[in-house]
Amino acid sequence: MPKIDNKVIQNRDQIIKDLGKFISKENILSHQDEIKPYETDGLTAYKQKPLIVILPETTKEVSKVLSYCNKNNIKVVPRGAGTGLSGGALPSADCVLLSLGKFNKILEIDFKNRCVVAQTGVTNLAITQAVQDNNFYYAPDPSSQIACSIGGNVAENSGGVHSLKYGTTTNNILGLKIVLMDGTITTIGGKVFDSPGYDLLGLITGSEGLLCIITEVTAKILQKPDTIKAALLGFPTIEDSGNCVGEIIAEGIIPAGMEIMDKALTHATEKFSKAGYPLDAEAMMIVELDGTDLEVTELLKKVAEIGKKNNCTTVKISNSEEERLKFWSGRKAAFPACAALAPDYFCMDGTIPRGKLAEVLREITRLSKEYNLPVANAFHAGDGNLHPLIMFDANDQQSLEKAEKFGADILKYCVKVGGVLTGEHGVGIEKRELMCEMFNQNDIQQQLDIKIALDPSSLLNPGKVYPILRKCAEQGRIHVHGAKEKFSDIPRF
């Protein structure tokens, strides 16, 4: 993380007093017991208490907080629901942590324009729940959708099991209300499907809290398909399941969702959810089709044929909505189910070309033996997004360091085969030291120039995404200098 500003820490009481002029005292948390829940996010291997925690209730209050911090050179770390898995909301000891938990209202439901305007702290699932009685839903559905916030989804460009057909967050939002580091409030996009000028909406989506604070989101909602059914397929090898994925897409079939879990994860989730998974299979795949009844019926037949062609040993088709949801219940519960396998796990997030699935899994298996750490695998198979879960013990420093190196090697291999470092969890601190594996100096400098254009003092969510930032005399620009393998500057459990 960036160098700690001891002057800010020494002025803590004055900062609290100043912020109390425009933030209710009950919305300023400063006692050590109050701020402890904010010391980490879903990447729980690292922790650090912030200077203080602020819970604003309006966009104007956010603006005043940012303006004050900008003038006084105080770092600000935004936080949504805290479910992120890359350490993107990890605070520093000298930062104001700006929690958006009180931005929890749906402001407008517009069925005519098929959109919902929601405050940034509204949960992903709550948007669907607000419109489902009218037969609508919000398509992106991360496994944490019951808890993760729509603002956090935008910050990380979150996906989910239905991203193959319906896209990630960036394909499902129309507008944002944002606050820049100097306190400027502005709106990008709106209810229309396209806006003139630069694609600023695309720029902000996935920017991981480095460019602005998001306070409102205008999200697209879709009408539910007439028919939705899922097929459950078991395969004797991961290679067979990977080949099946490629052939399904090659046939022009675009499932609403297509997921693979390996045998280790299948067994863990079956014990947890009792979803009826094939326990003898080395790989289990869920393929969901939606559309008209005739379309879904025909496509499911084709999927079953392709599965059998690729040595599928089990084919089960959902006969009811309850059974379809049961199929998905295990996949949605895959991560918590791993609690039975080890005290802790790292959930990695690389993305690869679909045709490299079997090759990458073989490398993960080899690395598992090399590091002597178990791993279970889940894949958003259709779009090549991998989620290897590395089992370790966070209380064992050696185990934690091995897990970090194991995860880094997986991501390096993803890049080697033509993939990328992240599919939906973001870079945060978890992958920041690997950015130079994927981008050269000029690539990163262009990204930093955009960052500094909107946040000249680099106060907003510092220490995330880019390895080492240093301000140089040359035109006052921020540069990256080198990359480290170990997170020596990040506090651990």
Query: Tokens 């669907």 correspond to what residue?
Result: 128
pLDDT one-digit tens code per residue, 338-364: 888 899 998 999 999 988 988 998 899
pLDDT one-digit tens code per residue, 70-98: 999 999 999 999 999 999 999 999 999 99
Does the domain spanning 227-335 belong to CATH 3.30.70.2190?
yes
Between CA 105 and CA 108 the distance in angstroms is: 9
Identify which has the larger pLDDT, 330 or 134.
134
Q: Does 342-430 match 227-335 at the fold level?
A: yes
pLDDT one-digit tens code per residue, 107-153: 999 999 999 999 999 999 999 999 999 999 999 999 899 999 999 99
pLDDT at 23: 97
Where do the structural domains in the chain lie, given as residue ranges? 1-224, 227-335, 342-430
Q: What percent of the chain has pLDDT over 90?
A: 81
Full-model pTM:
0.92
Q: Is the pLDDT of residue 37 over 50?
A: yes
Cα-based distances in Å from 179 to 182, 184, 185, 186, 213: 8, 5, 5, 6, 5
In single-letter form, the type of residue at position 440 comes to N
Does the domain spanning 1-224 belong to CATH 3.20.20.140?
no
Cα-based distances in Å from 443 to 425, 435, 439, 479: 21, 10, 6, 11
pLDDT band at 474 (very low <50, low <70, confident <90, very high): very low
The hierarchical CATH code for the domain 342-430 is 3.30.70.2740
pLDDT one-digit tens code per residue, 165-183: 999 999 999 999 999 999 9
